[in-house]
Structure 1
Amino acid sequence: MSNIQELEAKIKDLEEKLASATQKNVREKIETMSSEVVDSNPYSRLMALKRMGIVNNYERIREFTVAVVGIGGVGSVTAEMLTRCGIGRLILFDYDKVELANMNRLFFQPHQSGLSKVEAAADTLRNINPDVDIHTYNYNITTVDSFDNFTNVLTTSSLTDGPVELILSCVDNFEARFAINTACNEFNLTWFESGVSENAVSGHIQFISPGETACFACAPPLIVASNIDEKTLKRDGVCAASLPTTMGIVAGFLVQNTLKYLLQFGQVTNYLGYSALTDFFPTMNLKPNPNCDDLNCRKRQKEFELKPKPEVAVEAKEEEKPVHEDNEWGISLVEESVDERDVTVSEGVTLAYTFPDQSSIEECQEATSNDVSLDELMAQMKSI
């Protein structure tokens, strides 16, 4: 009996040693991964940009602070993409709670139902990338008290205690968009406006630099310009941005241009639209309205006009003389028509239609000048 007990004790001792060795091995791997996080930030998926020569230092993404306003269909996916890219600090604004109806999003999960969206988002994002510094604010930015706090956060919450580098508007109503527009015009903050149409298959993003591009008030939507309360237009059972596909596409456009703006590569779009029904992607440049209703927008426009503009090198061209001395407008006529009879084709290729010879034309003209029946004319035309 004692031999059995001794054997069991040896087995137990071996199991403890094996478990200890396994734990040591796991700890060493974790320490190695932690050192890699410090040295090369493996959480960031931007290394390919450096390897392909697109950016010199992708790790600069750690230096930036981005605020995402609205953690809904587009905003939640945008926040996740930025987290996976290793953004330095992420600031989230929203005042809604997670509902089961939000499960059409690509981000929220059923067990988060009842939590505030910013709380649920922060919990998920920290598990994805603990390196990102995430701040959350659960209030409505359109109220008077909250708006003051909102502007204070935007102007003092970067990693250097200054204004944030970029603001991403992912809200679903015009009132919130105008609140963001007002704050950005007042404090000269750059931002992206985004949205998904009510039919859920179209969307857009718009880059707004106060004074340089059109702000959201420069060309307001019709219902805003008409002083219509947008709450009266909401229809039961209709949820804008209800397709995960459209939300993912718009969020992808938004984050892609955010990276281009922050890391300074490629061309940042001024306005990019998306229509799924026709696979149409309209782009355009939106200039600011000199008569914009926003006083601060007009102020920023004047400041931008006074900024020194980069000189553009223009090649010197020789002075072109007019075709004729008395030809004031330089107008000339050029023959561009080609006679089909002069067209040559390669061997083995035939023309679908040939130019009729002169004799056939003369016969046809003679036939039309005489009294000829319709059947005879048809027969002559077929013979040509």
Structure 2
Amino acid sequence: MATAEDIQKQIETLQIQLDSLKQNARTKIDKMSSEVKDSNPYSRLMALQRMGIVNDYERIRTKSVAVVGVGGVGSVTADMLTRCGIGKLILFDYDKVELANMNRLFFTPDQAGLSKVDAAAKTLSFINPDVEILTNNYNITTVESFEKFLDAIRLGGIEKNTPVDLVLSCVDNFEARMAINTACNELNLNWFESGVSENAVSGHIQFIKPGELACFGCAPPLVVAENIDEKTLKREGVCAASLPTTMGIVAGMLVQNTLKYLLNFGEVSNYLGYNALIDFFPKMDLRPNPQCDDRWCLKRQKEFQARPKVDIPIVDEKVTEIVHETNEWGIELVSEDVKEAPTVSSTGLKLAYDPINESKSNEIPENQTTNDDVSLEELMAQMKNI
């Protein structure tokens, strides 16, 4: 009869074999095909590279992203990143899928009762089996779980014992946001904070680079700044509103900027808001607060300030004359700063260019009068001459 020690050894052997199979499978799919055919799931993504938007789209396979909160925004965010072919996705949540979540995107009624991370992982693996998906079913705000969260993002990179490339906060409470803020400040990890308002008609994303941009504690919401218990703000029998449209838009904003950051194209928005009532998208930069309560934030600020300053080269602003070849159509390139009055006849009509009779096209015919009080017949005659 096998002892407990023998069984443990067998389990360890099987785990090693499983890890080896996973690694072999990942090696086969690490190379994205740019071949344009219906059976290639990456052909339209690789088109971004062919069109010059992204230099090397295949780098997405080397990126690891942590998504904290797999609810209305987080589940759609994970869905989009999976379809984009992210290398590794680490999910954090401790809630279960409820039928009340069905007004949102992603989850389905048959998943009610399952943990959100397990339900999400099953769906995402079906959508794109190339993506490595890890699940963490615990509350990151508890002391024990916070340490596990730290380790997960500190060692969750594609390469062994490297940190994740980016953390995405998609949680719906300030306590969890502050936990993510503390962890990322401590580990010096860049992250995005996101949220949707309680009335579901506005939302935002905020990019946070420890020491360089304001952390979540630098300019906290009122409930954090005044140390108010968030639970006291919730009224019994009243739940927050939720619109799949707003959730989808915020998730789209979040993933779009995530891709820009990971693949280095376009401009990453430091803060981008959304007001659904008037379709308003405010943008701004939030700088760190020198009196932030987070000690790790203050440390990162000092490190950033100690970095050597990069001198911006002075561009010689010489006015370069536009040179172009002459052409038979008489087209000229002129500076937008030059306001040249068009040639106008005494009747107020702009004289058209006549390529056949160029020398006379801008001349007033001899029989054309300069008197503004002309009859209709005279005006018609002048137009014929023109």
Normalised TM-score (structure 2): 0.72
User: Any unmatched runs of 5+ in structure 2?
Assistant: 1-26, 35-39, 319-343, 350-386
- Alignment partner of 1:46: what SS? helix
Mapped to 1, the partners of 2:304 and 2:163 lie a distance apart of: 19
Query: How big is the shift at 1:57?
Result: 1.2
Aligned to 1:270: 270
Quote the residue 2:382 is aligned against.
Answer: none
Helix, strand or coil at the partner of 1:135? strand
Are the aligned partners of 1:77 and 1:251 in contact in 2 as well (CA < 8 Å)?
yes
Structure 1 contact 43–86 (Cα < 8 Å) conserved: no
Q: In 2, distance between residues paired with 1:346 and 1:296?
A: 75
Deviation at 1:228, TM superposition (A): 1.0
Give the match's secondary structure for 1:73. Answer: coil
1:40 aligns with 2:39: no
CA offsets 1:213-237 (integer angstroms, 9 cap, x no match): 0000001111211111111112345
| Correspondence for 1:62 | 61
Task: Please name the residue that 2:129 is paired with.
Answer: 130
The Cα offsets for residues 184-220 of structure 1, whole Å up to 9 and x where unpaired, read as 0011011000000011010000000000000000011
2:192 alignment partner, SS class: strand
Tell whether the 8 Å contact from 2:30 to 2:61 is kept in structure 1 after alignment.
no
Q: Is the 8 A contact 2:211 2:301 kept in 1?
A: yes
Deviation (angstroms), 1:83: 0.1
Letter paired with 1:59: E
- CA deviations on 1:1-39 (whole Å, 9 max, x unpaired) are xxxxxxxxxxxxxxxxxxxxxxxxxxxxxxxxx989855
Distance 1:131 1:316 in 2: 50
The equivalent residue for 1:139 is: 138
User: What is the rounded CA distance, in whole Å, between the counterparts of 1:317 and 1:37 in structure 2?
Assistant: 47
Contact 1:241 1:247 in 2 (8 A): no
Q: d(CA) in 2 for partners of 1:290 and 1:267?
A: 26
Judged with a 3 Å threshold, the aligned counterparts in structure 2 of structure 1 residues 217 and 53 are, in CA distance, closer, same or farther, namely: same
Secondary structure at the counterpart of residue 258 of structure 1: helix
Query: Residue 7 of structure 1 aligns with which residue?
Result: none
Q: 1:89 to 1:279 in 2, by over 3 A?
A: same
Unaligned runs of 5+ in 1: 1-33, 319-343, 350-384
Distance verdict in 2 for CA 1:237–1:203, change over 3 Å: farther
Q: Report the CA distance shift for 1:79/1:143 in structure 2 as closer, same or farther (over 3 A).
A: same
Instruction: Tell me the equivalent position of 1:246.
Output: 246
State how far apart, in whole Å, the 1-side matches of 2:312 and 2:269 are.
Answer: 21
Report the equivalent of 1:165.
165
**Distance in structure 1 (CA, Å) of the matches to 2:107 and 2:317:** 61
Inter-CA distance 346–99: structure 2 relative to 1 (3 Å threshold): farther
Give 1:309 shift.
Answer: 3.0
One-letter code aligned to 1:43: P
User: CA 1:134/1:293 → structure 2, altered by over 3 Å: closer, same or farther?
Assistant: same
Task: Give the equivalent residue in structure 2 for 1:107.
Answer: 106
Equivalent AA in structure 2 for residue 307 of structure 1 = R
Amino acid at match of 1:216: F
Identity of aligned residues (%): 71
Q: For 1:328-368, what per-residue CA distance to the aligned partner results, in whole angstroms no more than 9, with x for missing partners?
A: xxxxxxxxxxxxxxxx998469xxxxxxxxxxxxxxxxxxx
C-alpha distance in structure 2 between counterparts of 1:89 and 1:197, whole Å: 29
User: 1:273 aligns to what SS in structure 2?
Assistant: strand
Q: Is the 8 A contact 1:196 1:241 kept in 2?
A: no
Give the aligned partner of residue 23 of structure 1: none
Q: 1:148 to 1:220 in 2, by over 3 A?
A: same
Deviation at 1:281, TM superposition (A): 0.5
Cα distance per residue 1:71-91 (max 9 Å; x no partner): 000000000000000000000
SS at match of 2:145: helix
Question: What CA distance in whole angstroms lies between the structure 2 residues aligned with 1:282 and 1:108?
Answer: 30
SS across alignment from 2:288: coil
The whole-number CA distance in structure 1 between the counterparts of 2:246 and 2:308 is 40
**Mapping for residues 85-96 of structure 1, pairs under 5 Å:** 85-96=84-95
When residues 249 and 237 of structure 1 are mapped into structure 2, their CA distance, relative to the original with a 3 A threshold, is farther
Amino acid at match of 2:56: N
Give the whole-Å Cα distance in 2 for the aligned partners of 1:78 and 1:268: 17
What is the identity, as a one-letter code, of the residue corresponding to 1:87? I
CA distance in 2, matches of 1:316, 1:35: 51
Determine which structure has more spread, i.e. the larger CA radius of gyration: 1
Q: What amino acid is aligned across from residue 275 of structure 1 in structure 2?
A: N
Instruction: Give 3-state SS (helix, strand or coil) of 1:248's partner.
Output: helix
CA deviation vs aligned residue, 1:293-350 (integer Å, no higher than 9, x gap): 00110000000011123320124699xxxxxxxxxxxxxxxxxxxxxxxxx998469x
Alignment of 1:1-384 (within 5 A): 38-40=31-33, 42-44=40-42, 45-161=44-160, 162-240=162-240, 242-315=242-315, 347=347
Residue type matched to 1:230 in 2? E
Task: Tell me, in whole angstroms, the C-alpha distance in 2 between the residues paired with 1:271 and 1:115.
Answer: 34
Query: CA distance change for structure 1 residues 135 and 241 in 2, over 3 Å: closer, same or farther?
Result: farther
Report the CA distance shift for 1:93/1:110 in structure 2 as closer, same or farther (over 3 A). Answer: same
> What is the alpha-carbon root mean square deviation over aligned residues?
2.2
Change in 2 beyond 3 A, CA 1:39/1:48: closer
Q: Single out whichever of 105-114 and 34-43 deviates more from structure 2.
A: 34-43
**Cα distance, 1:49 vs. partner?**
1.3
Cα distance in 2 between the residues matched to 1:178 and 1:143: 12
Give 2:65's aligned amino acid: V
